[in-house]
């Protein structure tokens, strides 16, 4: 029996329950009068090619240095920034990317994240993609989790699931996969629910990939194995 995007979502949600993404230290931001959305933006860059546990270590060092605002990252000496984010790996590249983003927001939006996000999604996306080292997955994570705007994030786990189930994605590119999920979910759920659903769905796909749909999958306990065309292949 083929699986639709909404059935996949319901199935993963009922198995794993609500996920609490994107993890942000609200208490820290309240205390420091800083904007938690910039922490999400930093996290979206730091998480490139590394596990979240490494990102957490880097975020903690940035917090201890009070360096979680646009102004602080923009002003921070690049070598100091590299040292602080070292646990997240690729720290030379990532330090440049963080500085670029902070300087861009400072110069073009007067460090006002509200103004940055108060525009058409595609305009925001194109602007983020024009920044060095920000690709579609990072840009869309920023738009969805920091901007609270409806865009579906596609990552390597999503692509794996699309291949294995399979889902009826016509064009298996990043944008084709994103279009499939967005179009199918928009048909089922009201517009006001799309942001929380896209947030949950992405987190659930990651959870399923970490627990079951790994490189060498553990299909026996996977919540969608009954609908998966690859189930037999991996037995």
Contact positions vs ligand SF4 (CB under 6 A): 161, 164-165, 212-213, 217, 219, 222, 224-225, 228, 230-231, 234
**Alpha-carbon gap, residue 27 to 43, rounded angstroms:** 17
Q: How far is the CB of 3 from ligand SF4 (least distance, A)?
A: 9
Instruction: Pick the closer one to ligand SF4 by CB: 161 or 194.
Output: 161
Instruction: Pick the closer one to ligand SF4 by CB: 69 or 230.
Output: 230
Query: Which among 177, 206, 208, 182 has a CA at the least distance from the CA of 194?
Result: 182
Instruction: Pick the closer one to ligand SF4 by CB: 151 or 224.
Output: 224
Q: How far is the CB of 189 from ligand SF4 (least distance, A)?
A: 22
Q: How far is the CB of 226 from ligand SF4 (least distance, A)?
A: 8
Q: How far is the CB of 157 from ligand SF4 (least distance, A)?
A: 10
Q: How far is the CB of 10 from ligand SF4 (least distance, A)?
A: 15
| Helix segments in the chain, DSSP class H | 5-16, 26-32, 36-46, 52-64, 70-75, 78-85, 91-109, 113-117, 121-129, 136-141, 156-164, 174-188, 194-211
Q: How far is the CB of 115 from ligand SF4 (least distance, A)?
A: 41
Tell me if residue 117 falls in helix, strand or coil.
Answer: helix
**Alpha-carbon gap, residue 68 to 30, rounded angstroms:** 12
Instruction: Pick the closer one to ligand SF4 by CB: 23 or 166.
Output: 166
Tell me if residue 61 falls in helix, strand or coil.
Answer: helix
Instruction: Pick the closer one to ligand SF4 by CB: 136 or 217.
Output: 217
Instruction: Pick the closer one to ligand SF4 by CB: 110 or 163.
Output: 163
Under 8 Å between Cβ of 165 and 226: no
Under 8 Å between Cβ of 208 and 12: yes
């Amino acid at each position: 029996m083929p699986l639709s995007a909404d059935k996949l979502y319901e199935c993963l949600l009922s198995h794993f329950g609500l996920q609490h993404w994107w993890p942000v230290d609200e208490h820290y931001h309240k205390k420091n009068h800083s904007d938690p959305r910039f922490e999400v933006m930093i996290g979206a860059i730091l998480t490139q090619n590394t596990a979240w546990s490494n990102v957490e270590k880097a975020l903690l060092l940035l917090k201890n240095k009070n360096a979680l605002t646009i102004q602080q990252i923009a002003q921070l000496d690049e070598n100091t920034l590299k040292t602080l984010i070292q646990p997240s790996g690729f720290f030379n590249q990532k330090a440049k990317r963080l500085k670029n983003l902070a300087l861009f927001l400072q110069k073009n939006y007067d460090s006002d994240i509200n103004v940055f996000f108060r525009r058409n999604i595609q305009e925001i996306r194109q602007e983020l993609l024009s920044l060095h080292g920000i690709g579609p997955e990072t840009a869309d994570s920023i738009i969805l989790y920091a901007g609270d705007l409806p865009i579906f994030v596609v990552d390597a786990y999503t692509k794996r699931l699309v291949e294995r189930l399979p889902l009826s994605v016509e064009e298996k590119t990043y944008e084709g996969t994103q279009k499939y999920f967005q179009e199918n979910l928009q048909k089922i759920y009201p517009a006001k629910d799309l942001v929380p659903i896209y947030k949950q769905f992405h987190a659930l796909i990651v959870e399923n990939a970490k627990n079951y749909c790994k490189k060498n999958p553990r299909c026996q306990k996977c919540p969608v194995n009954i609908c998966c065309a690859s189930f037999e292949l991996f037995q």
